[in-house]
Structure 1
């Protein structure tokens, strides 16, 4: 398995905390970007390839934990929520909304790094998807499982980890209809708080990236009305 340089998004209005946490995370050779506001955080999340989010429970816009709600509507990437530690209700609500980890202030930066590292191991490095070997070939599409490389019409396609895992799962079950709930359970490993909208959003992004090089290849991922998705190669 190749080494990954994960990308982390920190969303907080506290500059000093953001800087120190960024420095601690970068010691692990991870790439860290910082957003000081709610809207900046959403913009960076949508425009960047983000593997994990660390966000304050309350930001400059919206209700408490509104940013977490927004991220969960878009994706199932790991999210660490930072609370003020003044009430257990906030912690419980954060988990109920889909937070993967909650850190209460005050906390040590080394503790935050350890928690982030654990989430990376759980969500990415221990996944059976990365043990797949060999090559899958279809007209215009080549997937090298060992190198985790996807090429369309001889051009490499840059996919996020979730997009890659989703594509591999569909390929492994080609010709079969795969329900959204199954994708949430098997690809995300996250069936309690996920939603059909989450799956549909990632499918849309995956098709768009493949379609930039070949609409035919993007069309291999077919929507089965009210049932889910099917990977079917058409010649």
Structure 2
């Protein structure tokens, strides 16, 4: 069965272009141009992915993502012309799984969509165990994608947990951005993106203790690593 995609975008020409390209790839596409209506449709029906503009009539993409992820686990990719780190982090904070900056090449959008669906297929084929293991004073739980530190539970998004898991299962091994894009995002296409750096920054904000060394170390010119202590 083909994947179902909801496009919430008020730029009619862009929405039509994206819809036609996605349909050409075999996806079932629904297009909505209003933010509030888009949220209602996303909550009422089951979609495999929501492609979401940020600046929409009646309700912006940030609020749509927050409300949608509070009730469902639908994957969300934001389409935005706002490329500041704070805007990107705000979207990730509300539960977005990926973002793409306008104007974008349709080939990049399709590559990101394929990567998300590969990730979904891999996740659905795996039966998670209750725990993944420990790293220092962090205990990882793969069922609810959470981390417990000294009795305090830290709730992570799907992507944040997968990123931390990739690092923890490769202790003392430096993972490049390309390694992480391949293992966490399943990108096997050449995609220019700083999404890894954004997620690392946000993950540190959740798991690190102020005043203490970060669990995740940056290796300049190479990538990221977690080390045994």
State the TM-score, normalized to the length of structure 2.
Answer: 0.55
1:48-94 deviation digits (Å, cap 9, x = unpaired): 22111000112112456111111111212210011113522211211
Partner of 2:85: 88
- How far off is 1:19 after superposition? 0.5
Q: Which secondary structure state, in structure 1, belongs to the residue aligned with residue 144 of structure 2?
A: helix
Query: Cα RMSD (Å) of the superposition?
Result: 2.5
Q: Which runs of 5+ in 2 are unaligned?
A: 131-140, 147-154, 159-229
Q: When the two structures are aligned, how many residues end up with a matched partner?
A: 140
Q: Which runs of 5+ in 1 are unaligned?
A: 132-167, 174-180, 195-235
Partner of 1:130: 125
| Residues 1:7 and 2:7 aligned together | no
- Structure 1 runs of 4+ off > 6 angstroms? none
Change (3 A) 1:43 1:7: same
Change (3 A) 1:74 1:19: same
Partner of 2:26: 29
Whole-angstrom CA distance in 2 between matches of 1:110 and 1:34: 20
| Contact 1:83–1:104 (8 Å) recurs in 2 | yes
Partner of 2:144: 184
Instruction: Return the structure number with greater relative CO, CA threshold 8 A, min gap 6.
Output: 1
| Contact 1:57–1:68 (8 Å) recurs in 2 | no
| Contact 1:58–1:66 (8 Å) recurs in 2 | no
Structure 1 residues 15-164: aligned runs within 5 Å: 15-62=12-59, 65-123=62-120, 125-127=121-123, 129-130=124-125
Q: Which secondary structure state, in structure 2, belongs to the residue aligned with residue 102 of structure 1?
A: strand
State the TM-score, normalized to the length of structure 1.
Answer: 0.53
